[in-house]
Amino acid sequence: MTTAALMILGTASHVGKSIVTAGLGRIFADEGIRVAPFKAQNMSLNSAATLDGGEIGRAQALQAEACRVPPSVDMNPVLIKPRSDTSSQVVLLGKVWGQVSAADYHTNRVEQLFPAVLQSYQRLASKYDLILLEGAGSPAEINLREHDIVNLRMAHASNAACILVGDIDRGGVFASLFGTMELLEPADRALFKGFVINKFRGDPSLLQPGIEMIEQRLGLPCVGVIPYLHDLGLEEEDSVAIESRRTARRSWSHIVEDNSPHRPLRIGVIALPHMSNFTDFDALAAEPSVALAFVERADDAALADVLVLPGTKQTLDDLEWLGKNGFLPRIQEHCSKRAPIVGLCGGFQMLGLKLSDPCGAENEGVPVERDGLGLLSVQTVFSTEKTVRPVSGELCDASFAEGLWRAPEFQGYEIHMGETYRQGEAQPFARISTSDGAQSLDGATSPSGLVFGSYVHGIFDNDLFRHSFLDWARCSLKLEPAQQKAFVTTERDARLNRWADHLRSSLRLDLIRSWISTTSTA
């Protein structure tokens, strides 16, 4: 393979590999280089739909956006979506490939899938001048190294120049950099050209002695120190980011006594154990008029103005979890107060009357049927086929919002298994269209309009649609309209440019370019 390749690896998960890769993609795209991202294997419940109906990690979709190219299944050929601590769904080239245990996957399946991974890389390499590869976790996971297809095996296959990223905000960055390199075999260590220290806060002069010492110990140059950038506003890759999520106690403790009509709208997203695509709520959280929290305890649900049931990888298991943890009466109480309730994807399915899984798609092949929350007159039947597609939509009837939903159009994507059927008093929420012009009805609303559900992820990413939703929600709770609004979609490209500019001033790009030119001629 002769296409230029640069690989970003990290000392651990969540050190900034994904966002550094995205920033470099924007930098090189701005220089007129045809550049694309690639991650051989990703483990995440945050995913995105490609134009051809495939499913990839959301981080690779963001990186493609940064590179100004359309997302493709070849950018993330293997996506692992955990179902439990020991089993996962494997998505290969955008489609469900099978369910495997962790042990079976790491000892057998990776070798079976690696040829497809190489073919994906080769297809990308034939179309682009530069491939930015991203690793996963740490390349020094010695217990997994033999069958690791995402880190150094891929670096060797692509002849990539490798950069190691460490996160100083977590502490122990020098030990992490040194320990990672020490655990590598000599042939692997030789792939690394330099290292980056990410998320630095403080006086750079205090860091310099440590940099000089670790450069000598590793025999590698420091490619740069990236200062911590506040309010970046670009989504995190996976559920590791939930470690620092906004809980009700953190977000609402100082405002629960505020009865002002201008107070923040408390939006509570129920923190389901298998919650997926939690990035659906990043734009809502960015609104100055919103205090968004992930509700982990049933009692905290009573403090929410708007309750949201998010998407989930295991709808039936999480529905059972709601019952066992006391959420059902709290949700019913919320409904009786005539306060808004929203269900997205799996959360929409839960709001219905009944959920049937005749093929055991969510239950290891064993058929199961459960009663839903009964707040929408719909029934869901699961299947083994997954619907994955980008869509655009428009509310079918916004009359329930009394003219407050002034921007009824939206864009997003569907990723779900099963179909939901309306009956009785349920009305469809939206009319959606796909890229080929096909139209269908989505979701459902209650007669009051205060309970609604949709299969569309990313529905709140649309600025005007989100603002209209918040205007309606605030009015329904007798709160004044928001005085300030965020324009997340409009600002998204500017945020990527801001991040790229931040990296330009922090990294030794001439050094990186010299390594890239070397790999392209090797």
CA nearest neighbour of 376 among 429, 426, 333:
426
Compute and round to an integer the Cα radius of gyration of the chain: 24
Please confirm, yes or no, whether 345 is among the known catalytic residues: yes
Three-state DSSP string of 90-150: EEECCEEEEEEEHHHHHHHHHHHHHHHHHHHHHHHHCCCCEEEEECCCCCCCCCCHHHCCC
256 closest CA partner among 297, 305, 296:
305
Q: Give me 499's structure tokens.
A: 């991040």
Cα distances (angstroms) measured from residue 36 to each of 316, 364, 486, 502, 514: 37, 37, 30, 20, 19
Residue 335 annotated in active site: no
Tokens of 445: 């609303």
Exposed / middle / buried, residue 372 (Cβ in 10 Å: 0-12, 13-18, 19+): buried
Q: Count other Cβ atoms within 10 Å, centred on residue 31.
A: 11
Residue 33 main-chain phi, psi, to 5 deg: -85, 135
Name, in order, each residue with C-beta under 8 angstroms of 186's C-beta and a sequence gap of 6 or more. none
Residue 459 CA neighbour count, 13 Å, CB half: 29
Residue found under tokens 């999520």: 245
Structure tokens at 118: 């190489």
CA pair distance 509, 5, nearest whole angstrom: 15
Label residue 437 left, alpha or beta by phi (over 0 means left) and psi (-120 to 50 means alpha): left
CA-based diameter of the chain, in Å?
73
Residue with tokens 């590179």: 67
**Joined tokens for residue 93:** 């080239």
Residue 92 one-letter amino acid: L
Which one from 14, 416, 457, 467 is the annotated catalytic residue?
A: 457
Q: Quick one: how far is CA 249 from the chain centroid?
A: 24
Tell me the C-alpha distance between 59 and 48, whole Å: 9
- Element of type H or E holding 459: none
What gap in Å lies between CA 382 and CA 340, rounded to an integer?
A: 26
Given the residues 335, 345, 416, 467, select the one marked as catalytic.
Answer: 345
> What are the catalytic residues?
345, 457
